Amino acid sequence: MTSYEKLFIGGRWTAPAGRDVFEIRSPHDQRLVGAAPQASPADVDRAVAAAREAFDHGPWPLMDPAERRAMIERFDELHVARGAELAALVTSENGSPLWFTRWLHTVGISQQTAAYLRAAESLAWEEQLRSPAPGRTTVRREPVGVVAAVIPWNAPHQSALAKIVPALLAGCTVILKASPETALDALVLGEIFTEAGLPEGVLSILPAGRETSEYLVSHADIDKVAFTGSTAVGRRIASVAGEQLKRVSLELGGKSAAIILQDADLAAAVEGLKSTALANNAEACIAHTRILAPRSRYEEVVAGLKAMMEGLTVGDPADLATYIGPMVRADQQQRVRSYIELGIKEGARLVTGGPDVPEGLEGGYYVRPTLFADVDNSMRIAREEIFGPVLAVIPYDDEDDAVCIANDSDFGLSGGVWTSDTEHGMAIARRIRTGAFSVNGASGFDGPFGGYKASGIGREFGAAGLAQYLEYKTIST
């Protein structure tokens, strides 16, 4: 069992102001995984004061960018070295399957960090512009200030480091607000950053609930809020930030479409959708849960997806043979099951799965991987983010129809196309209104990641993600 009695405030392990604690229990069998202090507004005040002092008077923002890169490189080495341990901890907290958390903590997050490091190394922190006017124009890139990073529970280290790493590389100081469900792994980050040599004051880690979170993002000494989570909460944060003219970046929900073209290798597409639609229990904002299939191959697509989903192992997430683990909480389990019931009421054809809890797994927050066919894009199961392993197959007439259906969404985060012609896939990709799009399942961390429409504001990853933590200053001489 992993437990903490103190919070990580300004680089020091500090007794919390209150006595409330989060008990973290496994969503697989409700066993106690550990406990962590629950941060209060008084703890936020201390963390923000430390971050403000470190930014306004400390050495971190004034360091040579190469020194900050060296510290992040050291952190990444230490983080990867503890990858197996961290993967097991996150799996025990939130039910993500171990195959996924191991990949994420030993490969995926390190690739994400490496992309930020490349961007920081190539960035012109100060440059002179050519101008026909007399005099000289110098443009500086300076850190935005004190950052509140607010993250969800579904991929906690990936979300945290997508914000902490670029903020630190830019010279900012950071308060990480961790989710109650994954408080333990968040506090481990304090241990690793300390070992990496991060100066005092630069980072605080506060597991907290909703009221304390709102207190943090509305704090007068916070210069920027970086948030990953639901669109509803993102709207609230944007409202608070707008009132105070804080900088804000929001990575929100999605209802992404995967278009299977007439010429697609169906076996490859189905195998790819196993990952792009169902990885991490489909508790992922980027999950491709709307499958658009041509009418000429519709039943073939449905049959392929049915076979794939019925072949998935559902059960203990700590077992490497398990592909789908439990939902994170009882209310999330019930939410997903209610959407399955809704899909049946809406008239969609239930191909496999259903609202019943899988047999033998009644002690955990499990749902059956569920596939619906004969789905109309106006149905709620096609329009609302379910955040669970529920796929909807929607027929289309021709490619123009497929593009129209894919774009007919309040969201615009991700999506994909499956085709035997990559250039044709690129042509389709250019027509889809989303911030990220894959051709035949390809992905990477150097390009910008973020959403159109209700899927957010701003971008993460690479140079664009680093730029979210910089202010631009023009000096004329």
Active site residues: 251, 285
**Torsion angle of the four alpha carbons 202, 208, 212, 218, in this order, in degrees rounded to the nearest 10:** 40
Residues 6+ apart with CB under 8 A from 327: 27, 95, 281, 283, 333, 336, 365, 366, 367, 388
Q: Are 174 and 168 in contact (CB under 8 A)?
A: yes
Q: Are 456 and 252 in contact (CB under 8 A)?
A: yes
> 415: part of which helix (H) or strand (E)?
strand 415-418
Q: Which pairs from 442-445 meet CB under 8 Å and 24+ separation? A: 444/111, 444/115, 445/111, 445/112, 445/114, 445/115
What are the residues facing 41 on neighbouring strands?
A: none
- Bridge-based pairing state of the strands 173-178 and 146-150: parallel
Give me the phi and psi of 264, to 5 degrees please: -70, 145
Rounded distance between C-alpha atoms, residue 105 and residue 86, angstroms? 7
Rounded distance between C-alpha atoms, residue 148 and residue 164, angstroms? 9
- For the record, the structure tokens of 467 come out as 């730029």
Give me the phi and psi of 183, to 5 degrees please: -70, -30
Q: Are 94 and 27 in contact (CB under 8 A)?
A: yes
Q: What single-letter DSSP state applies at residue 24?
A: E
Question: Exposed e or buried b for every residue in 409-426, given b needs 16+ CB within 10 A?
Answer: bebbbbbbbbbeeeeebe
